[in-house]
Chains A and B, each alone.
Chain A
Amino acid sequence: MILKDIFFKKFVITAEIGPPKSWQVESLIQQYKKYLTEKIDAINVTDNQASVMKFGSLGMSILLKQNGFEPIYQITCRDRNRIALQSDILNAAFFGIQNLLLLTGDHPIVGDHKNAKPVFDLDSVSLIYTVKNLMQGYDLAGNKLSGEPPKFCIGAAVAPETEYLDSQIFKMEKKINAGAEFFQTQLVFNPEKFIKFINIVRKNFGKIPIMAGITILKSVNMAKFMNENIPGINIPESIIKQLELDKEKTKSGQKGLEIAANIIKDIKPYCEGIHIMPLGWINKIPQLLSLAEL
């Protein structure tokens, strides 16, 4: 299934998984089958997220596809130059992967191989443009591909609650011009801010599908940590207060689920879907979806 076929026909739900630091990934499939089947349209597979070396996103996407899931293959520009990137993307096409999320990626210095060479031969915008070219039958250097061009749906990222909304919108426009067909956003915690962002998007770019990033907060400390360390995230005091109120409920995940479900209900009328980043709590996804009445 290619995502562009279902946007605007249904409220699209995706969830993100991060492969482990291991080659033995098959057992995870059972877990995904248990928690990520019902109502989940596609699964994002992160590409050595936060520059920590893991099982690769291409291999995991193929495995998901072979097990009946619809993967969204995430690709960053951190580790590969334009030759390797395009080559991997052709591999993905062969294995039936149709949905991509194209990112610049974190710098190696934030991860577990701090001395690694940061490649960044391309960035998110030029990678999107590259895939667009492949879809038209040409590589980035303008050489013709033999046979039929691959078919993809190109996803990109945007941070709607950043303190730098102007430059985000500027970059979003570049991504759309380069070929982005849908956006998954950084985590949303302030429905008002998100709706303001959506209004700007509609005014400038019309009907481009936007999927709001959602997570289940696990603790007060996690919320504070994210506020301090993760760019574009802005968890308001009111949410932190709710987490503080009933420590037990927060620890069990009940409070985090309620907060997330309320955010989903608030923003649902304004966007085309949600993208759940469960940060280890994939077993809570079914509960979240039923709480949010999805």
Chain B
Amino acid sequence: MARPMGDSHRRFLQTIMSNGIIDGSQAKALHKHCCDVAGANYSQDRLDEFIDVINLHLQPMFMHIRKGMSEEDGLQYYALVNTAETEVTRMSSDYADNELELFRKIMDLVAESDNGTASSTDILNCGDALLSKKLKKKETEQVLNKFVQNKWLTEKHGEYSLSTRCIMEMEPYLRTIYQDLLKNCHVCDNIAFQCQMCENPDCGIRMHLPCVARYFRGRSDPHCPACNEFWPHEIPEMHRPLASQSQPSSAKENTAPRSTPLTSQGRRSGRRL
């Protein structure tokens, strides 16, 4: 029989549930905290095993703690997701019908864009054209703030994108709704919204910004990893997780050091269902 859950696991699970999403370093600190408080055995390198125990018990509930990467900073995050098909409905207890309609419109805008963002101007126009009940400009702004506050969207210079939490939790839904509009990142094979695209029309692969940064690190003359065409975009610089910051950047640039968060087993098992 599987390892039983203790209060350390329950505290960890509840904290993720009530926060929606936590980042990798928070997860590490939380792991230690939960074990300390419950008087359970703690060893630093056992976080994955610790989460496996929780996931085993969550499986019958069609839930899973999934590890994923942020499109913005390339860091690891953990969120509680559902392993079955998804709808925007978990938001429904927090939002009115017209607010949910606005959110679906924003997802449309983001999915149809080239760079995974929607401008506040476009969103404000959507608010004015809702079927359920129009939102005034001021109201739309308030709702947008609420989406950001509750970690469903992120905002930068008036551009909105889907948050890591949103993508992780709603991936199955997004794939069903947008199908061909969505492409995976060539590097990490996860869904890619905020990304760069190869400009060769026969190729058009996408890469997340952090994946671009990691892949082309130290290369002065970047070429598309799929078609070998020149990569015309500016290579972003990424803030690296502390653990790998000290690595010399010249060495083997695209064998991402041990922080490769990209092939989480959570994602895999999620798809299978």
Q: Do A and B bind each other?
A: no
